[in-house]
Amino acid sequence: MIHDYLIFIGVFAILFFLTTSIYLFSQYQKFKQRNIRLSETNRMIEQRLNEVRLEHIGTKLNPHLFKNILNSVQSHAYQTYMSLDKLANVLDYILYESNNKFVSPKEELNFALSLIEINKIKINPLFDFRIKSRINKSDAVYEEKVFAPLISVDLIENAFKHTDFLAQDSFISIYMELENGIFTMKVSNKASLKNILAKEKSGFGSQSLDQRLQMIYNTHYQLEKSSKNGIFTAELKINLGDFYDKMRYSR
């Protein structure tokens, strides 16, 4: 009897161990699958968050820029193809390149020219629009990361925003130059009386541009603004050569 009892206990113990092992293994497999699903969900959430952050980075820089660009494209449907091509270049730059602390003068100048072309769409072909650039592509800083992205936006946008396009003597003039490590951008335009009064009350130009230039370039830039007979002029000079040397020696 005792022998049979011991056999029964042994068989029961083995069956209990096998049953418990099978149960625990099945629970482990379920737990493992659940962790895999959670990991995949977390990965997808993190990927989407990164995409949203990237989109936010682009749009927070200058939300009105997108609105102005899209309005220009919409107002002249017959030039849609060219507009969308330039728009793609501008949006790529804003979303991706502008996230960098510095870009090259080459990249910023290409962006500025695309932005100008988009804004020109809403202008009458007979309007007095002058654009000239003198860029030395062999300049030592032409392809170096020394240019704060979107610095050129304010001067360009203000010219198109505050110009009286209906006045007979109205005009916009944009000049860009890179020579001997010095970047120059001079923008002039004839503003309406309404815009003149608004500027006299609020101050000429964008304070945020002044603050940004001061924080980044400090003593390596000059920004002069003037108003005479309704003609507003802003001239920006940045000594990118000296700034580049400072960056190299401070590393």
Q: Which residues contact 153 (CB under 8 A, 6 or more apart)?
A: 62, 65, 115
pLDDT at 183: 97
* Rounded-to-integer distance, Cα 159 and Cα 175, Å: 12
- Highest averaged pLDDT of the listed ranges 51-55, 227-231, 233-237: 233-237
* Rounded-to-integer distance, Cα 87 and Cα 96, Å: 14
pLDDT at 57: 46
pLDDT at 204: 42
| Torsion 244-245-246-249 (CA) sign | positive
Confidence band of 185 (pLDDT split at 50, 70, 90): very high
Is the pLDDT score of 177 beyond 90?
yes
pLDDT at 105: 96
**Exposure pattern of 204-230 as b/e (b: 16+ CB <10 Å)?**
ebbeebeeebeebbeebbebebeeeeb
Query: How confident is the model over 103-119, as pLDDT tens digits?
Result: 999 999 999 998 888 88
Query: How confident is the model over 85-107, as pLDDT tens digits?
Result: 677 777 777 777 777 889 999 99
pLDDT at 228: 87
Confidence band of 132 (pLDDT split at 50, 70, 90): very high
* Rounded-to-integer distance, Cα 241 and Cα 227, Å: 30
**Exposure pattern of 58-90 as b/e (b: 16+ CB <10 Å)?**
beebbeebbebbeebbeeeeebeeebeebbebb
pLDDT at 205: 44
pLDDT at 251: 61
pLDDT at 202: 45
pLDDT at 174: 96
Share of the chain above pLDDT 90, in %: 28
- Residue type present at position 95: L
